[in-house]
Structure 1
Amino acid sequence: MSAPRWMRALARPGARMLPPGEIEARAVVLPKGDRRRRPTTYLSASRFEEAMRCGWLARRENGLGLSADGQAALKAGTRGEDPDPAARHREMEDRSLITPDGSLRTARANRREGPLGPWLDGLEPHQRQAGERFISDYHQSTLMSPVTRNWSPTAQRRSEGRRKGPEDAAVSALAAKDRVMDALDALGPTFARVIEAALVHEDSAAALERRFGWAARSGRTVLGLALTRLAEIYRLV
């Protein structure tokens, strides 16, 4: 297995990467860092976020270049090892899924695939707990289909009580909906939109910045503030 094309392109002398939102929605690699020239390759916003979490990119003059870890990952790829950040950051857990009849089944899943997955490395414990609680309520509520994947790590396990029927599921869903709406009302319009964008629509940091017209690389900071406010509402801090 070879290293990703964007890594090989960025390793060329003088090459620079511009993050999503700089000149287009994707990250781009420019030869010699020259914005007048056509990009040699592109990187999606989600893969850009993964590369940043892995520490593969570092600030350079006129953009981003490969960090020491990025150079090591490039060499690993050329040796046939897997440089995919998803393989390096796979953390499996049991996750409960709600079926149409209200019962639960358990499946193994990667915790980093959920709405909080791209943000986990930069969150304080109370921020993560608040996000997980909101996601849990949202997935139990009537605001979405009950057959949608349940990312909530706090979802009830099959072994934690009797098997629930449709009537129980309906009551629980309505109560969860009330908790979601109460939390959004308490957050206020600005933070509520941020929480919905990140945890419901699963926008990346770059997508948040584009959606709300924020400065580049401010998405994580604002989401952190919104999650802290959510933690205060839940009395986690």
Structure 2
Amino acid sequence: MTAQKGPLRSGRFPVWVPHAARNYLAHTQKGLSIRAVARECACHPSTVLRQIRRFETRRDDPLIDAALDALSDQVALAEATKNWGENKLMTQRKIDRADPNQELTQRRIDQEAKRILRRLCEPGAVLAVAREMETAVVVRAAGHDDQLRTAMVEREIAQAMALKDWISCPEPENRIARYFITNNGRAALRRLTAEDENRAHGLGQRRGDPAAEAAWDLDAIEGGSRRTRRYHGTESPLVGLARRKDRDGSPFLDRALVVVGERLREDFELAQLSGDVITKWEDIMDGPTPDDPARMRVRAALAELGPGLGDIVLQCCCFLEGLETTEKSMGWSARSGKIVLRIALERLQRHYETTGGKFGPLIG
């Protein structure tokens, strides 16, 4: 589809809204005919008709329905600002209450989507949305019929991801809707991850060039000469160790230690450290003093562990490297890594227990 123009490009629609959703709102909320919308988009009316029908059938999805309602309210507010008159006071109050720091922008959606889509790539992961809850959660199977919560998602972020068709809900009529990552979501994650790798290499993404963006495929990057960290689409090594049995038949890693490792990984991703060039413990400890709360928590945790223990949790919990790879990179003997990792997680657990009040609870 060619670039939108005319009223469909106006500030009444946020730039992150997909073209198909804009066309649907232009027809249903602004009253433009299908032919008028097609002229604005320089496409055939049948294309617009299919888009409108598809969104009508998707209104059963609670996230999409809420997203379209919110966008409809934005359109109505924008229309009201054209005529101050007797509505001047009401409109001004609505504008004054808006928080620019919470504005839903493409940048904010992308940053959050990288974290959420990575989690949804893990085996058995779903995004669960309860109609009465303000936030959504990502959960996955943790063995023994248990579930592990791996992330929390702001509802408006989840709505935007559903509207972009990055996640879908096969059975939206349930009280708790369960969303899975789509092929479009996996493609978006590859693109966003490639852009992070691109920035880390200092190459600079050619913005606005679809061919250039498509060229930075994650598989091509991982096949390059530089070893690339696998921040997505990979099950945490902790989950595999939790399935293994110790000599007495109990899990080698109990659930509490898995949660500890997931907590560190969550902070690592919230701090957006995945875009930095980090290969070892010293890369974080020797850097400038962080002022971001998530970075402070990561640095405090790794400082408590020190080199060696800090390196193995960084490799296995944050970079999702397998134990064999970590053992080779650290120069350790085979099968020694799992023992060291358990010791590191036990010390990390004590650290979180003693500093929980200072650093706050796990949000994911």
Give the TM bin, normalised by the shorter chain: 0.3 to 0.5
Decide which structure has greater strand share: 1
Higher gyration radius (CA): 2
The normalised TM-score by structure 1 is 0.42
Q: Which has the higher contact order (CA 8 A, sep 6+)?
A: 1
Decide which structure has greater helix share: 2
